[in-house]
């Protein structure tokens, strides 16, 4: 009987250009900003950077009431935000939340 000698395992030979093609990795894509418009504050925002404190709005209306010092005298209307009492119409919002897109509705 003939004795068989073990054959060392040989790695398959591959052409050098083929191995380079396999090793090539697709180029990284640049991050794409997806801007949307918030339906609460009407500002544009990036969906990737939306945090729970991104959107600042008022939770109530800006209204006026008659400011009477005496029952017979009127000194005009006094306007303010009913949620926080701020009298400036352009005051930053008092409620913080996530932005909500029109697409999310």
pLDDT digits (tens, 9 = 90+) for 6-48: 665 665 666 655 555 555 566 666 667 789 999 999 999 998 9
Per-residue confidence (pLDDT) for residue 105, from 0 to 100: 60
CA atoms within 13 A on the CB side of 102: 8
**Minimal CA–CA distance to 93: which of 25, 43, 49?**
43
Domain positions in the chain: 36-104
Residue 63: DSSP 8-state: E
78-104 pLDDT tens trace: 889 999 999 999 999 999 999 999 887
Helix (H, G, I), strand (E, B), or coil: what is residue 16? helix
Per-residue confidence (pLDDT) for residue 104, from 0 to 100: 75
Give the pair of three-digit tokens for residue 84: 């926080």
pTM of the model: 0.57
């Amino acid at each position: 009987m003939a004795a068989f000698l073990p054959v060392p395992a040989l790695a398959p030979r591959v052409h050098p250009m083929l191995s380079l093609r396999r090793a090539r990795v697709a180029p990284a894509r640049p991050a794409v900003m997806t801007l949307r418009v918030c339906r609460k504050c009407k500002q544009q925002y990036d969906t990737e950077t939306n945090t729970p404190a991104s959107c600042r709005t008022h939770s109530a209306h800006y209204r006026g009431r008659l400011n009477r010092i005496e029952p017979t005298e009127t000194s005009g209307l006094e306007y303010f935000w009913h949620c926080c009492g701020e009298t400036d119409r352009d005051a930053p919002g008092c409620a913080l939340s996530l932005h909500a897109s029109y697409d999310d509705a």
